[in-house]
Structure 1
Amino acid sequence: MPDALQVPTDDLDRIPRMPAWVTATRIESPEDVAFLSGAALSHLHLVLARMEVPQALLRARLALRAAEACVAVSGRPEREMDLRDAVHLLRPGDLPGPAGETCLAWLRAVERPVSVRALDRALTGMSAERIAVWLDAGQGGAVRRAAAVLETVLADDPRGEVPALILAEAALAQALGWDHLVPLLAGGVTRADLRKRGADLQLACHRAILKSTIAASRIASDLARRADRLLAVAPRLRAKRAGEAVQLFLNRDAVAAAALPLSDRAARRLCDRLVELGAVRELTGRDTFRLYGL
């Protein structure tokens, strides 16, 4: 799944859509669920191979969704806007809080190719040796392997939903031959699902993957269109280092003006200009402490 973004505009409409028989089929048996989740994963694999899709941004957007789902499972009230604030408005020395830590863990997990070292960076406080043992817990097909890792980690650490899901996603990615972790399970499983075991947990994972993969494909197509718009207006930007700013928007879920490689005034003007051109959105609805993204 390459991270470099090359957007031939004429190809945007040819990003394959999830077949209707996957999205509309009535699920009547475990076999149907397994078949449809496999079909959905196969389709997403094709979407992730498209150069038009901003891969790093897609992973970051899915990581935010995964973090929000994990926070909800833990019973905390923070949602998408709160998580963005906790991560992107941090100042040196600030602590992100429990919800912010969850979001940072997911964002770090998707930043680098899947490896024990990368996962060790995301899951602070866990040894690389323990992570390696957990990753090897699963055998067989991709979903079976991911479910086995999820079950093993939760058996060892019943309150470790976040590391369990991140490691299960990593096992899924490795089994599918993907370089990077693409959050799918976390956005589809429920608190009740995480208490299941064996075949019941595998079925819950198939259902979660089917649900999340359909959503991920739609998000990928939407981000491809938005990225195309941003790249189309980029030559009209006059600010120095505007190209570097554009790359940040193409790689991050949200960007504060202060994070751009420009003076404060120039950064705010650039953000306002991009919003005016329809190239980025202001994500918070606030007059201050704004965040911007595709």
Structure 2
Amino acid sequence: MTFARPDHLFDDDTIPRLPTWVTSARAETLEDVAFLSGAALNHLHLVLNRVDLPHALLRDRLALRAAEACLALSGRPERAGELRDAVYLLRLGDLPGPAGETYLAWRRAVERPLSIKSLGRALPAFESGQIATWLDAGKGAPVTRAAMVLEAVLREAPRADVAGLILSDAALAQAFGWGHLVPLLAPGLKRAELRKQGGDLRMACHRALISSVIEAVRQAADLARRAAHLKAVAPKLRAKGAGNAVEMFLTWDAVAPSALPLPDRAARRLCDRLVDLGAVRELTGRDTFRLYGV
């Protein structure tokens, strides 16, 4: 599969939406669904090449979505707000709990360039040799490779849904030549579909990717606009260390004031100032233990 690079996708200030013939089509055969998922992934591939996209922030937000989906697949009740609390309010020596561990696995999988070492850091329960063997199980076209890796992991470790989904996304990223893992498959798959095999699993993965790419492109467009606004207001910030703080907001899904490189009061004032400028949002709705994000 080749990837054209239309100039208008890079000259425009706005990240283009997926064509309606991809988002509204109703395909029934494996061939038709594969064609639509290929078109969706080709579009995402172009979006991920944009220099105006806050790449680390997009991956971190998609990691949150993938973790939330994995917990739903396992029947756990935790959602985005609880996952953020479990990770971003974690104190030294605290344990994040099962939900927090799932979120941390996805965050670790996306934050460093894709490699066996980075995947081993995300999945410490598995040896690097086993991870490499599972990744080598994927052959053929990108989505076929991802489905084969998912099937291989769950055949050998039936309860390792998170590992299977992380490694299938890793196989997809490798196939497209992306430098980092981009979480896509987990939010679009149902629990029963994880137990499918062969063509049935490939069909489920194609469908899952179409819906996930639609959301990923929407989030990319939203975050690109928000990141541009944050960069535009950054010169108005007078606090020492504000530049490093802005970089944290452009990298992480959520930031606690205590994590910023400023004294506590100055950090809270900076967050309030950014909210007043419309550059970040308070994410919790609480008066204390607040979290902020682009």
Tell me the TM-score range normalised by the shorter chain.
over 0.9
Residues 128-160 of structure 1: CA deviation (Å, up to 9, x unaligned): 111111110111010001100000000001100
The alignment partner of 1:41 has SS state of helix
Equivalent residue, structure 1, for 2:118: 118
Equivalent residue, structure 1, for 2:193:
193
1:144 maps to what in 2? 144
Contact 2:56 2:251 in 1 (8 A): yes
Q: Distance in 1 between matches of 2:151 and 2:29?
A: 22
Residue 11 of structure 1 deviates from its aligned partner by: 5.4
* Partners of 1:188 and 1:209 within 8 A in 2: yes
Q: Could you list the per-position Cα deviations for residues 157-199 of structure 1 after superposition, in whole angstroms to 9, with x for gaps in the alignment?
A: 1100000100110001001111100001011111011010111
Distance in structure 1 (CA, Å) of the matches to 2:89 and 2:22: 39
Q: How many matched pairs? A: 285
Given the alignment of the two structures, is residue 272 of structure 1 paired with residue 277 of structure 2, yes or no? no
**Cα distance in 1 between the residues matched to 2:223 and 2:52:** 9
Please say if 1:205 is aligned against 2:210.
Answer: no
**Structure 1 residue aligned with 2:3:** none
Structure 1 segments of 4 or more deviating over 6 A? none
How far apart are the structure 2 equivalents of 1:11 and 1:253? 27
Q: In 2 relative to 1, CA 11–225 (structure 1 residues): closer, same or farther, beyond 3 Å?
A: farther
Q: Distance in 2 between matches of 1:36 and 1:62?
A: 21
CA–CA distance in 1 between the matches of 2:271 and 2:289?
Answer: 13
Matching of residue 156 in structure 1 with residue 156 in structure 2: yes
Matched, 1:168 2:168: yes
* In structure 2, C-alpha distance between the alignment counterparts of 1:14 and 1:112, rounded to whole Å: 27
For the residues of structure 2 that align with 1:224 and 1:204, how far apart are their CA atoms?
30
Identical-pair percentage: 69
Distance 2:28 2:136 in 1: 32
CA drift of 1:24 comes to 1.4
**SS state at 1:233 partner:** helix
Any gaps of 5 or more consecutive residues in structure 2?
1-9
Partner of 1:180: 180
Contact 1:252/1:293 (8 A) holds in 2: yes
Correspondences of 1:12-27 after superposition (within 5 Å): 13-27=13-27
Which amino acid counterpart does residue 289 of structure 1 have in structure 2? F
Paired with 1:247 and 1:12, the residues of 2 have a C-alpha distance of: 24
Q: CA deviation at 1:27?
A: 2.1
Q: Distance in 2 between matches of 1:51 and 1:264?
A: 33
Which secondary structure does the structure 2 equivalent of 1:46 belong to?
Answer: helix
RMSD: 1.1
**TM-score (norm. length: structure 2):** 0.95
Unaligned 5+ residue runs, structure 1? 1-9
